[in-house]
Amino acid sequence: MSPASATRSKPAIGEFELIARLARILAGSGQHESVLVGIGDDTAAALRVGSADLYTTDTMVDGVHFRAGQTPWRDLGWKAMAVNLSDIAAMGGTPLYSLVTLGIPAGARAVDLLTMYRGIREITGRFGGRVVGGDIVRAPVLFVTVAMVGAASTVRGKPALLLRSNARPGDLIAVTGTLGSSSAGLKAMERGLNSRPATRLARSHTRPSPRISEGQALVAAGVRTAMDVSDGLIGDLGKLCDASAVSAVVEAEAIPVSKDLRSLFPDDFLSYALGGGEDYELLFTGPRAAIGRAMAALGPGMATVIGRVEKRGSRSRSSVSVIDGRGRPVVVERAGWDHLDAPQARSRGRPR
């Protein structure tokens, strides 16, 4: 079973290396004083225009991130916006405006595109990020690119961002909602399951809810470290640990899993919860007091403490360990879901 194959795809060439080299090329161009967080540093770029502004973009390509004809058009519109809204949520910000670019192949039907836009309207009506412009181009393949700007939250008048790089040994690790439902929902759809639990899981995959208000609540509670879970808990927590130069220990039995996932996949639910992507929940860390305030602000059952941040081991490499209820290690390879063992290779060789 490979829940990680459910996550969104990267090109087959070395993405991390490519981004690093592209960023180096751009490093020399123009002024820098107003950049708070730039390329490669986090989910979204954070810049000071008026207050701090957040910029993010995500693209969905037919045959890579969805399949036209199988993915309902309205769900496609919802999800194309949701992944961008989730990037803003992961910084603790407020989505403001979006530009939507459609690449349209010959034979595309206007009715389908209009239906897709109804999904866009539905999610922006609920979470913000209204579309204010865009571009339509002819292309051999259907794709949807969303660029979104948001406002950073402020604390005592200063921008306060959730970053990946702020985790410190001793921090607690927590997550909103439940994990694994999205990838399990995709599996349920692929198997043609249509029970109530299967349908609800599928909806987690097709209609993820960006955690906008939750991200804002985290900032207000004093939490300063978060990311959204797009590539799976173990993989994303590994990125957070890399960025913060720390390690993490996660208690398997503490990981929140929905009843539906547990009932439909009684043997595999932990694997989905640890490795399945596209849940778009917020993974966050902070000192005990801040996490306590955050849990209280989010409300009962809305977030769960799943582990703790520790110092790196002797080899100065970040690790993510999963332990059972008696403290014994659960065997989980850090990059277990794509069968590659180098951390950088996680997004490199695999289709997402």
Site for its own copies, residues 84 to 103, rule: CB under 8 A: 96-97, 99, 101, 103
How far apart are alpha carbons 11 and 185 in whole angstroms?
Answer: 24
Report, in Å, the least distance between residue 227 CB and its own copies: 15
Q: List the x/- string, 259-278, binding to its own copies by CB under 8 A.
A: --------------------
Nearest 10 degrees: Cα torsion 225, 227, 231, 234:
20
1 binds its own copies per the rule CB under 8 A:
no
Report, in Å, the least distance between residue 17 CB and its own copies: 8
Q: Which stretch binds its own copies (CB under 8 A): 37-45, 204-212, 321-329, 337-345?
A: 37-45
DSSP 215-276: HHHHHHHT--EEEE-SS-HHHHHHHHHHHHT-EEEEEGGGS---HHHHHH-TTTHHHHHHH-
Question: In the range 99-158, which residues lie near its own copies by CB under 8 A?
Answer: 99, 101, 103-106, 108, 110, 113-114, 117-118, 120-121, 124-125, 128, 130-141, 143, 145, 147, 149, 151
How far apart are alpha carbons 310 and 170 in whole angstroms?
Answer: 6
Residue count at the site for its own copies (CB under 8 A)? Answer: 77
Report, in Å, the least distance between residue 224 CB and its own copies: 20
How far apart are alpha carbons 174 and 223 in whole angstroms?
Answer: 11
How far apart are alpha carbons 287 and 222 in whole angstroms?
Answer: 9
* C-beta closer to its own copies: residue 38 or 170: 38
53 binds its own copies per the rule CB under 8 A:
yes
How far apart are alpha carbons 7 and 157 in whole angstroms?
Answer: 37
Report the chain's C-alpha Rg in angstroms.
Answer: 20
329 binds its own copies per the rule CB under 8 A:
no
Give the type of residue at 34.
Answer: S
Among 56, 176, 209, 318, binds its own copies (CB under 8 A): 56
Question: In the range 173-212, which residues lie near its own copies by CB under 8 A?
Answer: none
For the beta carbon of residue 110, count every other beta carbon within 10 angstroms. Answer: 8
Residue 95, strand partner residues: 150
330 binds its own copies per the rule CB under 8 A:
no
Q: List the x/- string, 8-27, binding to its own copies by CB under 8 A.
A: xxxxxxxx-xxx-xx--xx-
Dihedral class, residue 156 (left if φ above 0, else alpha if ψ from -120 to 50, else beta): left
For the beta carbon of residue 129, count every other beta carbon within 10 angstroms. Answer: 27
Residue 272 and residue 7 in contact, taking contact as beta carbons nearer than 8 Å? no
Question: In the range 63-82, which residues lie near its own copies by CB under 8 A?
Answer: 63-65
Report, in Å, the least distance between residue 251 CB and its own copies: 34
Report, in Å, the least distance between residue 88 CB and its own copies: 12
How far apart are alpha carbons 266 and 247 in whole angstroms?
Answer: 29
* C-beta closer to its own copies: residue 103 or 177: 103
Report, in Å, the least distance between residue 91 CB and its own copies: 12
Q: Output b/e per residue, 28-62; b: 16+ Cβ within 10 A.
A: eeeeeeeebbeeebbbbbbbeeeebbbbbbbbbbb
Report, in Å, the least distance between residue 305 CB and its own copies: 31
Report, in Å, the least distance between residue 23 CB and its own copies: 9
58 binds its own copies per the rule CB under 8 A:
yes
28 binds its own copies per the rule CB under 8 A:
yes
Among 51, 154, 195, 213, binds its own copies (CB under 8 A): 51
